[in-house]
Structure 1
Amino acid sequence: MLLAIIASGCGKDDATEVILAKNVFALSPVADSKISGNVSFVKYEDGRTEVILQINNSSEDIHPAFIYANSLAEGGPVALTLAPIECDCEESITVVSKWDNGSPVSYEDLINFDGHLKIHQNKDHLEIVIAQGNIGANAQ
Structure 2
Amino acid sequence: MRKALYLLLFVALTALSSCGSDDSIEPTGVNEIIVDELAYNLVSANGSGITGTATLTRDSNDNTTILIELNNTNTEEHPAYVRLNSAAEGGPILITLEPCTCAVSTTVVTQLNDGTPIDFDKLLNLDGHVSIQDSPDNPDLVVAIADIGTNAN
TM, length-normalised to structure 1:
0.85
SS in 1 for 2:91: coil
The equivalent of 1:86 in structure 2 is 101
What's the C-alpha RMSD, in Å, of the aligned pairs? 2.0
| Structure 1 residue ranges (4+ consecutive) displaced by more than 4 angstroms after TM superposition | 13-16
SS in 1 for 2:140: coil
Deviation for aligned residue 1:19: 1.0
Q: Distance in 1 between matches of 2:31 and 2:48?
A: 36
- Between Structure 1 and Structure 2, which shows a larger proportion of helix residues? 2
Q: Pairwise mapping of residues 1-140 of structure 1 onto structure 2 (< 5 A)?
A: 12=26, 17-87=32-102, 90-140=103-153
Deviation for aligned residue 1:75: 1.4
Q: How many residues align?
A: 130
TM, length-normalised to structure 2:
0.78
Q: Distance in 2 between matches of 1:91 and 1:112?
A: 25
Q: Which amino acid is the alignment partner of residue 97 of structure 1?
A: T
Q: Which has the higher contact order (CA 8 A, sep 6+)?
A: 1
The equivalent of 1:6 in structure 2 is none
Which deviations, in whole Å up to 9, do the C-alpha atoms of 1:91-122 show, x marking residues without a partner? 11000111101010010011111001110111
Gaps of 5+ in 1: 1-9
